[in-house]
Structure 1
Amino acid sequence: MLEDVDGLELIRTAIEMDASDIHMTVGQRPYMRCLGKLQAMRSTSLTESFIAGFIARLFNDSQQEKLAADRELDASWTYAGRRFRVHAYYQQGFPAMALRLLPERIPALTELELPAAWQKMKELDKGLLFVTGRTGSGKSTTLASFIQEVNREKACHIVTLEAPIEYIFKPDKCFISQRELGKDFISFPAALRGALREMPDILLVGEIRDAVTLQTALTAASTGMLVLATLHSGSAVDTVLRIEGMFPTEQRDSIRALLSEVLTGIFAQQLVPDLTGGRLAVSEVLLAVPAVRSLIRQGKYGQLYSQMLSHQDRGMQTMGTAAKHLLQAGRISSETYARLTAAEHAGGLV
């Protein structure tokens, strides 16, 4: 069994190996994820005292009390100059942890090789912009990169609502307020309503998980500010379907109408292995041109795919189109290409 003193050694190992995630639970070996692949860090299992000791090192008394009461907790932690997003939880009655290592610095949009449409997004002064994808798809890093570039290029007021705060922004040309759930505000809907009185130019909502938060974000976007938000959805079409699905049937017509008015774009991304080393973000892009707004208003989501194909000159692209370009450039394998395009093939879209 590993002794408690080895906790920081595991963290140092993960940093040295450039891991993206660390997983710890009682009775199992600790694991880390490198380049998307899970691998054991040790040959011996972790004890309950090891996990409990590590939790005591990472969390203050009030956080530990909340974990004991709620049986899960999200927080951020800094060690050796690196930021971590920490999720503590219980499984089979024992404490467990998942730690996400954030990049040492906020990368530029060009470094992330994101679609050119992102540069145009910096010109926006109102509307609702979604970055979507599964857990670990790089949504937070993409939004942090966007905010950092805005911070360097123009004067505006930025408010972020996060759970927890991941990247720390150093104000440059912008006035920035970063607020954390549980520490600086109690609930996302209440914080969103409060943010309206703070008069931000840009409002970041870390994650939309329920209809009340979504409704408030839509309302905020309609008041003349740029709202940035994330959702767990796999594609642009999945995103609008999920948005509508959060509301009861009798509200969906009005939600579609409001969404069609305030939506500026949806960037649905995945992280995949890059044949030149590391991982690469692949994005589907749906921009709210008049035809797209009309289709959303009418609920004709099945036609959005054709809009992405026919408006590539305006910066839109399907996941299949993006994957094809990367395959031809030698950046991804044929297996990765097949996985990225599987949903489109299944639906008869490509």
Structure 2
Amino acid sequence: MTDRPIHEIPIDPEDADLSFLRRAAAHDGRVSPADWDALAAAAGAAPSAVPSAADVVASASALPLNVTQTGMPEVPPSAPPTMPPPMSAAPFTAPPPASAPLNAPPPVASSSLNAPPPVGGTPYSAPPPVAAPGSVGGPRPVAASAPPIMPSGASASHIEPVVPLPASTARADWSPSEWEEPTKAPASAAAPTVRHTDSKGDPELLAALHELIASRGSDLHVSKNAPPMVRIDGTLRPVQSTGSWDADRVARALYSIVTPAQMAHFEEKQELDFAFPLTEQSRFRVNFYRQRGTIGAAFRLIPTEIKRLEDLGVPEVVGRFSTLPRGLVLITGPTGSGKSTTLAALVDIVNETRSDHIMTVEDPIEFVHRNKKALVNQREVGADTQSFQNALKHVLRQDPDVILIGELRDLETISTALTAAETGHLVFATLHTQDAGQTIDRIIDVFPPHQQGQVRQQLAATLQGVVCQTLVKKATGQGRAVATEVLVATPAIANLIREGKTYQIGSAMQAGRGAGMHTMDQHLAELVNAGTITITAAREKAHDLDTLQRLVTRQDGAAFDPAADFDHMHAAGGQ
């Protein structure tokens, strides 16, 4: 089988992966898993005309309400399958058996039809009430005008295509575990044997994720012609529980953990970001992508526990930004540098110490914040709002005190962040930049030339601090240490921004230890001198090798104190 959209994959009644398609259809509200069994049984009766997934799901949307999880009504072997009439038609009458005729019961008050009794059975009696539509295990409502199910040999051109769920129906807290194992349909000669997989997804994929957690790794990569790979202490290595996966194996594993709405979004956009809860204690940020025509994925482990800044190794001065009443604070660094972890720790300080309203816009939600002293509302792009721009258009009408923006991606998002900081809100956001000077230039350069002067004025007035960080392998070989660069918006820094002299910011930071500032090279040298990292590892992350070498070899005990005089600087009239 070649790699192609899920709705084009033919259904084999004996295929073990049919169980995922059954659960997907059930979650989509089109047909229960047991009814899927019955459809597969019908397909098994005509091997030469096995329907595709799209055919069967489209046909399943027409199921009448008398079809329950106990299976389709039994029909005498000699009689061809007969579909019940539309709901507006006359009451249903069961086909007469060979011996004594049996009349159908009078119509019931509900809109559902009652299944006929077995051939030769006792006088008919109505079945007990079923669960309300939409409840677990209950029948799902369908339109009264739905067409009958077409036989498996019918042409796909005569079947209306399934309209995918809108992206707004996706849920950040969705877990495949919500697909409970259905009650199996009664065994019959025509019913195929369906082998059920783990209700949470592909077993080997889940085993790889558990192995990642057990080995204290950070990422899992899944793509064709390679085994799943885990990143441990910055190095990729194959998982031990499985071998190489081809394109079909990768597709089956990855599609087993998404909802039908997410699947439709990926087929349309070729990209998908979502959060996947493996257990109550472990969640993953997941990205699906296409590479050489096949699906691939990257999983990032999100710690459920929000650590304190001191436990992360972040300088104390960073925590002071959470006490500011207003302004813009930026956390920057390359992908995988721990920006989200630091940002979560800052928000947690606000949550514990201030009676404020915190609004977050994230893609996806990574750390879940519980209300403590503050009120926290978290919005996820794709699930709770269409985009960062759409959410930020309305955020100022939601009475926020503190706003967290997952990423400053474009002009409109950056402009809104500056406006929010300018109007008295404390705004936290992230960027993928390497140092403080580059961060300021990136924000200004997003705007057209005729607006850049105004943006410099806004940024000089609102920027409170920039924290650039990266992760460096520890000297012990176990784990990684965080190295940071911290800019504090002193009057001198504000003037450099206003005058467009961002190239001088690095020198101002080197001389600004008293204000709590330090450069990346200064912190790397401090970590080397303390024996936390090696000089070789420090060189890989240094911005200026000569400066790093000079700071490391001095060994004069003049280690900088990033937190020194931070409060004194602000009391003296700093930004």
Q: TM-score range by the shorter chain?
A: over 0.9
User: Across the two proteins, how many residue pairs are aligned to each other?
Assistant: 347
1:47 to 2:47 alignment: no
CA distance, structure 2, for counterparts of residue 12 and residue 125 of structure 1:
42
Out of 510, 531, 551, the residue aligned to residue 309 of structure 1 is 510
1:13, distance to aligned residue in structure 2 (A): 0.9
Out of 529, 537, 540, the residue aligned to residue 336 of structure 1 is 537
User: In structure 1, what is the equivalent of residue 486 of structure 2?
Assistant: 285
1:346, distance to aligned residue in structure 2 (A): 7.5
User: In structure 1, what is the equivalent of residue 222 of structure 2?
Assistant: 24
1:348, distance to aligned residue in structure 2 (A): 11
CA distance, structure 2, for counterparts of residue 180 and residue 340 of structure 1:
33
TM-score (norm 2): 0.59
User: In structure 1, what is the equivalent of residue 204 of structure 2?
Assistant: 6
SS of corresponding position for 2:309: coil
Stretch moving more, 244-253 or 217-226: 244-253
Deviations 1:91-147 (A, max 9, x none): 011110000011241111110111121222121011000000000000000000111
Stretch moving more, 172-181 or 151-160: 151-160
User: In structure 2, what is the equivalent of residue 96 of structure 1?
Assistant: 296
Out of 508, 516, 522, the residue aligned to residue 321 of structure 1 is 522
- Which structure 1 segments of 5+ residues have no match? none
User: In structure 2, what is the equivalent of residue 78 of structure 1?
Assistant: 277
**Conserved? CA contact 1:158–1:177, under 8 Å:** yes
**Conserved? CA contact 1:84–1:100, under 8 Å:** yes
**Conserved? CA contact 2:521–2:547, under 8 Å:** no
**Conserved? CA contact 1:24–1:97, under 8 Å:** yes
1:68 to 2:267 alignment: yes
Superposition RMSD in Å: 1.7
Amino acid at match of 1:25: S
User: In structure 1, what is the equivalent of residue 188 of structure 2?
Assistant: none
User: In structure 2, what is the equivalent of residue 294 of structure 1?
Assistant: 495
After superposition, the Cα gap between the structure-2 partners of 1:69 and 1:321, relative to the gap in structure 1 and judged at 3 Å, is same
Stretch moving more, 302-311 or 54-63: 54-63
* 1:1-350 matches, cutoff 5 A: 4-42=202-240, 44-80=243-279, 81-276=281-476, 277-341=478-542, 343-345=543-545
Deviations 1:69-96 (A, max 9, x none): 0001110011122010000011011110
Stretch moving more, 19-28 or 114-123: 114-123
**Conserved? CA contact 1:116–1:315, under 8 Å:** no
SS of corresponding position for 2:467: strand
Deviations 1:180-214 (A, max 9, x none): 00111112122112110111111000001111111
Higher RCO, 1 vs 2 (CA within 8 Å, ≥6 residues apart): 1
**Conserved? CA contact 1:206–1:229, under 8 Å:** yes
Higher strand proportion? 1
After superposition, the Cα gap between the structure-2 partners of 1:346 and 1:275, relative to the gap in structure 1 and judged at 3 Å, is closer
CA distance, structure 1, for counterparts of residue 533 and residue 209 of structure 2:
30
Amino acid at match of 1:291: A
CA distance, structure 2, for counterparts of residue 278 and residue 225 of structure 1:
37
CA distance, structure 2, for counterparts of residue 346 and residue 321 of structure 1:
12
After superposition, the Cα gap between the structure-2 partners of 1:96 and 1:170, relative to the gap in structure 1 and judged at 3 Å, is same
**Conserved? CA contact 2:365–2:378, under 8 Å:** yes
Larger radius of gyration: 2
CA distance, structure 2, for counterparts of residue 120 and residue 105 of structure 1:
21
Stretch moving more, 298-307 or 41-50: 41-50
**Conserved? CA contact 1:267–1:284, under 8 Å:** yes
- Which structure 2 segments of 5+ residues have no match? 1-16, 18-201, 551-575
After superposition, the Cα gap between the structure-2 partners of 1:300 and 1:33, relative to the gap in structure 1 and judged at 3 Å, is same
1:301, distance to aligned residue in structure 2 (A): 0.8
Q: Percent identity?
A: 37
After superposition, the Cα gap between the structure-2 partners of 1:310 and 1:347, relative to the gap in structure 1 and judged at 3 Å, is closer
Amino acid at match of 1:189: Q
